[in-house]
Amino acid sequence: MDYLSVALGIYLTHYLKNTKNLGPIKGSALATIIFWPVTFLSGLSLPIFFGGSFIGMTDQKVISPKLLFIPGLLFITIFEYISAQYSSLGGALGMSAFLSVVITFSAVKAFPQNRGPRT
């Protein structure tokens, strides 16, 4: 369920930020307001959704929307490790989201897709 929570956070925030022109803060806030009641009915994790929302704030010039699932996958793993190290939930969420985006951005820059004329 954590992977679903993080994916919803990423893509709902990204959609609201870019399609509805709300910007990253308003997009994240509205996504959270929309998602909050869902947590009571479904058992999805609101803190994990917040982490996904942080990732969803990433500008599409930094990471393509098609690749936003990658930092989402990394986020879950990094968050499980860092949450044991940080005493505050917010610090662990922010640091995990930041690291997952930086790792993905670095990998995209280090291994660019070179497409030939036939692809």
- Number of domains observed in the structure of the chain: 1
In the chain, what percentage of residues exceed pLDDT 70?
95
Mean pLDDT of the chain: 87
Query: What's the pLDDT score for residue 114?
Result: 64
Residue 115, in any domain of the structure: no
Within 8 A by CB and 6+ apart from 38, the residues are 44
Residue 79, in any domain of the structure: yes
Q: Which domain holds residue 102?
A: 2-110
pTM value?
A: 0.84
Residue 119, in any domain of the structure: no
CB 41 within 8 A of CB 73: no
